[in-house]
Amino acid sequence: MSQKFDLVVIGAGPGGYVAAIRAAQLGLKTACIEKYQGKEGKTALGGTCLNVGCIPSKALLDSSWKYHDAEESFKIHGISVKGLAMDVPTMISRKDTIVKNLTGGIAMLFKANGVTLFEGHGKLLANKQVEVKGLDGKEETLIADNVIIASGSRPVEIPPTPLNGDTIVNSTGALDFTEVPKRLGVIGAGVIGLELGSVWARLGAEVTVLEAMDKFLPAMDEQVAKEALKVLTKQGLTIKLGARVTGSNVKGKTVTVEYENAEGAQEITFDKVIVAVGRRPVTTNVLADDSGVSLDERGFIFVDDYCATSVPGVYAIGDVVRGPMLAHKASEEGIMVVERITGQKAQMSYGLIPSVIYTHPEIASVGKTEQALKAEGIAINIGVFPFAASGRAMAANDTTGFVKIIADAKTDRILGGHVIGPSAAELVQQIAIAMEFGSSAEDIGMMIFSHPTLSEAVHEAALAVNGHAIHIANRKKK
């Protein structure tokens, strides 16, 4: 006999597991289906984010930065280090422990909230029925009043550099190197490529990033992107723009990558290559032919502003739908959908989703860029405050970058915030909160910030919008 649920969620990533927990909190009888198995061969919740994405990469970024800091910066503080060495297996083991603790924590939250977990592959059938093919091969059909598809995404593979699990890997394989490669190639200068390239460059790898586009970080504010390129290059990453990879040749433990740029055909040899050219939605074999759910030509599920699909009662969230592939976007979509199912008028502020690149310095943004606003013909005022003028940043010997706030010239309402520098991810969130409540630059300027803090850079940038900054010379208005 089939089991019936108020809600069935396909996928236990940051969108799915959050939706399932919130649904259970709101009194819905909820099931969540997940098939991913971790290193130990057991079902691991949390999706790409917790298992092979956001969390493990940040663990390696933090470990590698501490090593780099000890090697390059401790001496300025009067600290001498002798015999400094990096134990890569220990670093990887630490990362694995963090992942295990977090994924296990979700399992406990499921139990605490009464979410029923099905271990296996979920597939949406007609009439909101969901087929579950268990890890043991047994099949079961669930009947649902509502279904949320949260099956996530997987790395894109490209024909010129087929993965072999050894010399050519994707972002998942790059999290488990057993030693620092001498020569590392990274295909793609996006978030994933820059973060993973940074990890291994800090530990001594010669890193070359091949990016097909002529522009660096095109989605970011141009002033921030220009600073990021300068800083990352100074840190040792060789970033080749306009370099389109055309082929590869694996020979023993090395791989020669062929690419074309403005100067013609080129080639370069590496010990390891990371393919990080983006991600694609996981919708293959998730929808039966008669499910009624529509896809676009790239495999994304069509949804409206509230993540409803073409089938009443069926929703899709996260990486399988339009918009940025970000864990926090997926989580908030999951909450929005569940709350709307239960009669609340929840909605998403899609224009205020922060984006972060966890290099060092961090790069973060929210809202619109200077270039986008000018293209729309909107008159703006801009305030920029450099961390070089921040007392707290100086004390921490971390003065690279700046805070940039953009406001409407007529209303002073904040339209965008962009940060490159220490704790950029945390600082841009302050700007995002202000924007959510429709704050003006003057509003932030009138707030009292603790001293000395990095947050004061946000305060000063807001003051600078209207020529009122205290700790830098203000730009003369034209």
Contact of 346 with 340, CB cutoff 8 Å: yes
Pick from 449, 431, 75, 417: nearest CA to 223: 417
Report the CATH fold assignment for 168-277: FAD/NAD(P)-binding domain (3.50.50)
Class of the domain covering 3-154+280-350: alpha beta
Please give the backbone phi and psi of residue 268, each rounded to the nearest 5 degrees, phi first: -150, 140
- Rounded mean pLDDT of 375-393? 98
Instruction: Please tell me the distance from the alpha carbon of residue 188 to that of residue 469, in angstroms, as a whole number.
Output: 38
Residue ranges per structural domain of the chain: 3-154+280-350, 168-277, 361-465
H-helix or E-strand containing 315?
strand 314-316
Task: Supply the mean pLDDT for the chain.
Answer: 97
Query: At 266, which helix (H) or strand (E)?
Result: strand 264-270
Convert the pLDDT of each residue in 169-194 to its tens digit: 999 999 999 999 999 999 999 999 99
Mean pLDDT of 399-408: 98
**Res 1: pLDDT:** 60
Residues carrying an active site annotation: 451
pLDDT tops 80 at residue 284: yes
Which percentage of the chain shows pLDDT scores above 70? 99
Closest CA to 291 of 468, 125, 417: 125
Burial class (CB in 10 A: 0-12, 13-18, 19+), 243: buried
Q: Are 3-154+280-350 and 361-465 the same fold in CATH?
A: no
Q: Write out the DSSP string of 401-438.
A: -EEEEEEETTT-BEEEEEEEETTHHHHHHHHHHHHHTT
- Taking the whole predicted model, whether its pTM rises above 0.85 is answered as yes
Q: Token pair of 33, please?
A: 């289906």
- Point out which residues pair with 417 in neighbouring strands: 366, 405
The three-class DSSP label of residue 16 is helix
3-class SS at 213?
coil
* CA-wise closest residue to 184 among 196, 175, 176: 196
Q: Is the pLDDT of residue 478 over 60?
A: no
* pLDDT (0 to 100) of residue 294: 95
Q: Which residue has the tokens 């001293």?
A: 451
Structure tokens at 248: 């590869």
Region 361-465: CATH code: 3.30.390.30
- Average pLDDT over every residue of 215-228: 98
Residue with the two structure tokens 């061969």: 41
What is the structure's pLDDT at 475?
81
Q: Looking up tokens 């055909």, which residue turns up?
A: 265
Beta strand 362-367 with 355-357: parallel, antiparallel or unpaired? antiparallel
